Amino acid sequence: MTAQLIDGVALSRQLRAALRERVAALNGRGCRPGLAVILVGDDPASQVYVRNKVKACAEVGIHSVLQTHPASLTEQALLQHIDALNADPAIHGILVQLPLPPHIDAQRVIEAIAPDKDVDGFHVANAGALMVGQPGFRPCTPYGCMKMLEHIGCALRGKHAVVIGRSNIVGKPMAMLLLQAHATVTICHSATAELAHHTRQADVLVAAVGRPALVTADMVKPGAVVIDVGMNRDATGKLCGDVDFEGVRQVASWITPVPGGVGPMTITMLLTNTVEAAERRLTTPSF
């Protein structure tokens, strides 16, 4: 078997076209959705990611404001910038690019963002909402993975989903979303014994660790759907995921490529959350 590709670029194109229409409808009601992106420091990878987000906003008609600060910015100063954006009616979404310099407490910064502007879905209020099944912003990467599964018509009810990775931004919320879709969910991590024993049970396998070639063909059940969240650079500087793509595509039924898979979908869901933030404010005046 050779797996079919889940094309994150093509699906993003479709979803972004629909977003453009929602933005036009908002414009017709006198609202221009706005996203503020805050970048602290001069990490080249972060600069590229942030630029891509700003470009994607323009593509669907979202107004974006990029704030760049030197790595020496104090936590207090950053918190003040967030307060100002929280109070700014032209801004519907706020994203603080991670990682932050080590002298800044990232969790404290995230908690300072108004939950109704937390389009990353990282605030405890949004994490809690996901946990208890209430509406709120879902973290963009797992949300994008769910959209990909939906797109290929993967019925999750009763399926065994295995997530490798337990981060607050990918692994844990991914597991919750799969659970909400009635999958039976296993979370594996660095202390898991017999990783391959678990992954071989997976009808849906999500790799979100950050280690090239962590998932090899012998760890994958024939016909499984494999979602690769990894973003690694190999020795030659080439972008690669956590999955041995060439090997695993011989066993899986569906597989996401890196690049061109989960990455573009992450940005698409950021745009989705931002448009939704603007729509919610129009329909819920107190929001």
Binding site for ligand GUE (CB under 6 A): 48-49, 52, 95-98, 120, 140, 231, 239, 258-260, 263-264, 266-267
The DSSP H or E segment spanning 197 is: helix 195-199
Closest residue to ligand GUE, judged by C-beta, is 263
Q: Is 53 a catalytic residue?
A: yes
Give the containing element (helix H, strand E) for 193.
none
What is the closest distance, in whole angstroms, from the C-beta atom of residue 235 to ligand GUE in the complex? 16
Dihedral, CA atoms, 84, 90, 94, 95, nearest 10 degrees?
A: -110
Say which of 67, 97, 116, 203 is annotated catalytic: 97
Tokens of 193: 């014994």
Q: How far is the CB of 37 from ligand GUE (least distance, A)?
A: 9
247 is in an annotated binding site: no
**C-beta of 33 vs 257, nearer to ligand GUE:** 257
Nearer to ligand GUE, 52 or 180 (CB): 52
- Kind of pairing, strands 239-240 and 232-233? antiparallel
For residues 163 and 105, what is the distance between their CA atoms, to the nearest angstrom?
A: 27
Q: Which is nearer to ligand GUE, 140 or 187 (CB)?
A: 140
97 catalytic, yes or no? yes
Catalytic residue (choose from 116, 118, 120, 203)? 120
Cα separations in angstroms, 216 against 39, 145, 246: 36, 20, 9
Nearest-approach distance from CB 11 to ligand GUE, in angstroms: 12
Q: Which is nearer to ligand GUE, 99 or 128 (CB)?
A: 99
Tell the smallest beta-carbon distance from residue 140 to ligand GUE (Å).
Answer: 5
For residue 20, which of 54, 64, 62, 60 has the smallest C-alpha distance?
60
Cα torsion 216, 217, 218, 222: sign: positive
Q: Do the Cβ atoms of 178 and 134 come closer than 8 Å?
A: no
190 is in an annotated binding site: no
The annotation status of 64 as a binding-site residue, yes or no, is: no
CB–CB of 257/239 below 8 Å? no
Catalytic residues: 53, 97, 120
Residue ranges for the binding site? 165-167
Residue ranges for the binding site for NADP(+)? 165-167
